[in-house]
DNA sequence: TAAATAAAGGATATAAGGGTCTTTTATTAG
DNA sequence: CTAATAAAAGACCCTTATATCCTTTATTTA
């Protein structure tokens, strides 16, 4: 009887963790102190081993940097700091999120719109454009200045 | 090595199917011809038994109507036609979708914003408001007039 | 009343996301 | 060189969404 409610989301949990972790790294990493997976996991209350997988994925895609061994950990190169937020989403959740039809139709375009195309596309593209223009460093700066909680 | 890409979505597949099915019913059902699950499944290329579950859920929540037996099927009462799209989303994907934080933080408000709150909220609320103001009959009318593909 | 029809409901199977654990590799300090 | 450290990598398990199948209930027509 009781209808089990789904827990819907725009971004996957992996992607949510990735974004929070990257901001955390941007905030805490210094040349003298790299940020370890353990530290991030503790600080953001994310399962450590799961987080590790995510950080590996980001590293492989050159969105963040890492070194092994004692005092190793994760950090952001100057290049990394200029990576835009949409890139992180793209790597974690695939390139389809901001292209795909809300109703799951094979094509999404004004030529072949689905019933909700008009309603959905305006805001979807709006968010996409914002994330494309926002890089990690900028986001971290705002988070610091506004004292935003991770 | 190869990073398996997730297939992200805003709405669950169940919800996507539900929305398309409801519009289909609105378009095809007449007092003399109720629309069967089989017909919808064929017309929209949705797995029949899966669709049945979804239609049951919509019926239980009084968003659509049904009768059993020969020439039975699904239809929309006048009350059903005034059901707004956000209600369908709410029943299928839960009430949290348009309330939850994009980064999965426990609270979403301008008092305790996450790093992407500003960017995301406009998108989320904008779509939500549109869907709250759009009912099934209106949507079906637009779909018919614009000759939109389901 | 009997047979046919179609939704409702329950049980089960499959796939993917989310999460844990162990081993390996690279780096550094001693 | 060795021990310690921490990321990388791979194997594995759990939960949930998706999908299928089978049985039951309600309705209609003959
Ligand atoms: S076609 Fe569905 S959102 Fe564009
Ligand atoms: S707090 Fe994250 S979207 Fe509002």
Least Cα separation, residue A9 to chain B (angstroms)? 6
Give the DSSP H/E element, type plus range, for residue A45.
none
Q: Which residues of A touch B123 (CB under 8 A)?
A: 123-124, 126-127
Q: Which residues of A touch B96 (CB under 8 A)?
A: 5, 7-8
Q: pLDDT tens, position by position, for chain B (150 residues)?
A: 344 566 678 999 999 999 999 999 999 999 999 999 999 999 999 999 999 999 999 999 999 999 999 999 999 999 999 999 999 999 999 999 999 999 999 999 999 999 999 999 999 999 999 999 999 999 999 999 999 999
For residue A7, pLDDT over 90 is answered with: no
For residue A5, pLDDT over 70 is answered with: no
pLDDT of residue A2: 42
**Domains defined along chain A, listed by start:** 2-93+135-145 (1.10.10.10)
Which string of DSSP letters, residue by residue, matches A86-144?
HHHHHHHH-TTTTTS-TT--S--SSSS--TTHHHHHHHHHHHHHHHHH-BHHHHHHHHH
DSSP secondary structure code for residue A3 in this structure: -
At residue A133 the predicted structure's pLDDT band, cuts being 50, 70 and 90, is very high
Is the entire prediction scored with pTM above 0.75?
Answer: yes
Of A18, A88, A79, A83, nearest in space to A51 by CA: A18
Structure-block tokens of residue A117: 């195309």
User: Which phi and psi angles does A75 have, rounded to 5°?
Assistant: -160, 175
Give the pLDDT mean for A85-106: 95
A83 within 8 A of A136, measured Cβ to Cβ: yes
Nucleotide nearest to B51 (CA to C1'): D19
- A73 vs B9, which has greater pLDDT? A73
Strands A65-67 and B73-75: unpaired
CA of A103 to the centre of ligand 2 (A): 24
B24 within 8 A of B38, measured Cβ to Cβ: no
Structure-block tokens of residue B69: 């037996």
- A36 vs A5, which has greater pLDDT? A36
Q: Is B13 on the interface with A (CB under 8 A)?
A: yes
B93 within 8 A of A8, measured Cβ to Cβ: yes
Angle between helices B85-93 and B117-132 (to 10 degrees): 120
Q: Please tell me the total number of residues recorded for chain B in this structure.
A: 150
Question: pLDDT tens digit string along A26-69?
Answer: 999 999 999 999 999 999 999 999 999 999 999 999 999 999 99
Tokens 């700066």 -> residue:
A141
């Amino acid at each position: 009887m009781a209808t089990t409610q789904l827990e819907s989301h725009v971004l996957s949990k992996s992607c949510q963790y990735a974004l929070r972790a990257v901001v955390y790294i941007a905030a805490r990493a210094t040349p003298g102190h790299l940020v370890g997976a353990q530290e991030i996991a503790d600080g953001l209350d994310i399962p450590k081993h799961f987080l590790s997988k995510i950080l590996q994925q980001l590293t492989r895609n050159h969105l963040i940097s890492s070194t092994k061994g004692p005092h190793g950990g994760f950090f952001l190169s100057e290049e990394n700091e200029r990576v835009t937020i949409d890139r992180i989403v793209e790597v974690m959740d695939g390139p389809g999120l901001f292209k795909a039809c809300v109703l799951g139709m094979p094509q999404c375009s004004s030529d072949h719109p689905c019933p909700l195309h008009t309603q959905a596309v305006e805001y979807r593209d709006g968010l996409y454009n914002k994330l494309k223009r926002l890089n990690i460093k900028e986001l971290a700066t705002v988070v610091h200045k506004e004292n935003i909680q991770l």
